[in-house]
Amino acid sequence: MEILCSDLNIWLDFVAAHNLTLSFLLPYVFITDGVVAREEILSPPELLDQLIAAGLVLVSLTNEEKDYSDDIFSRYKGISSADSRLLAIAKMRSIPVLTGDRKMREVAKSEGVQVFGTLWVLDSLLNSLLIDDSTFYKCIDYLLNDPSRRLPKDELRKRLALSARSERS
């Protein structure tokens, strides 16, 4: 099974979409840094426990990953310590990173790390027939209408427009 290193904002998107565990239907193992998870996943309070129960695996950084994380943090202005830790895991383990954070995406690309986001997860679920159209479009609609989520509105609207066209056909 392939492994993806996940950032917190992905899980918050799925909370907003009212489908926290949906991504775990995909044939991937989702990992994240245990230190980052315990420090950043504070609200809702049960979120970390729910993610672990669904299959999220907490990992520890190796010494090499810690050094690389420090290097990333010092070289790139505006990246958080947490994001540099997750990028170090992804880079050193040669796995993609799952994030919606713009700065983290930029740094990942600069570092040669493959990047996916929430919309990729939803598209993959739909294209793999792991969810039906109705579930997909409800998630997109929730995300589009939640002001706390920072997904590209034009991409969300494009997916909703496809829904409207397919319903008329």
Residues 88/65, Cβ–Cβ less than 8 Å: yes
The pLDDT value recorded for residue 93 is: 98
Question: How does residue 69 score in pLDDT terms, banded at 50, 70 and 90?
Answer: very high
Mean pLDDT (whole number) for 15-38: 95
pLDDT at 40 over 90: no
The pLDDT value recorded for residue 167 is: 56
Q: How many domains does the chain have?
A: 1
pTM: 0.92
What mean pLDDT, rounded, does the chain reach? Answer: 93
- pLDDT tens string 102-159: 999 999 999 999 999 999 999 999 999 999 999 999 999 999 999 999 899 999 999 9
The pLDDT value recorded for residue 14 is: 95
- The neighbouring-strand residues paired with 98 are 6, 116
Mean pLDDT (whole number) for 19-41: 94
Burial of residue 29 (number of CB atoms within 10 Å: 0-12, 13-18, 19+): middle
Residues 6+ apart with CB under 8 A from 146: 16
The fraction of the chain above a pLDDT of 70, given in percent, is: 95
Can you give the CATH number for the domain in which 83 is found? 3.40.50.1010
Closest CA to 11 of 61, 46, 35: 46
Residues 44/15, Cβ–Cβ less than 8 Å: yes
Residues 6+ apart with CB under 8 A from 115: 96, 97, 98, 99, 105, 108, 109
Parent domain of 53:
1-169
Single-letter residue type at 42: L
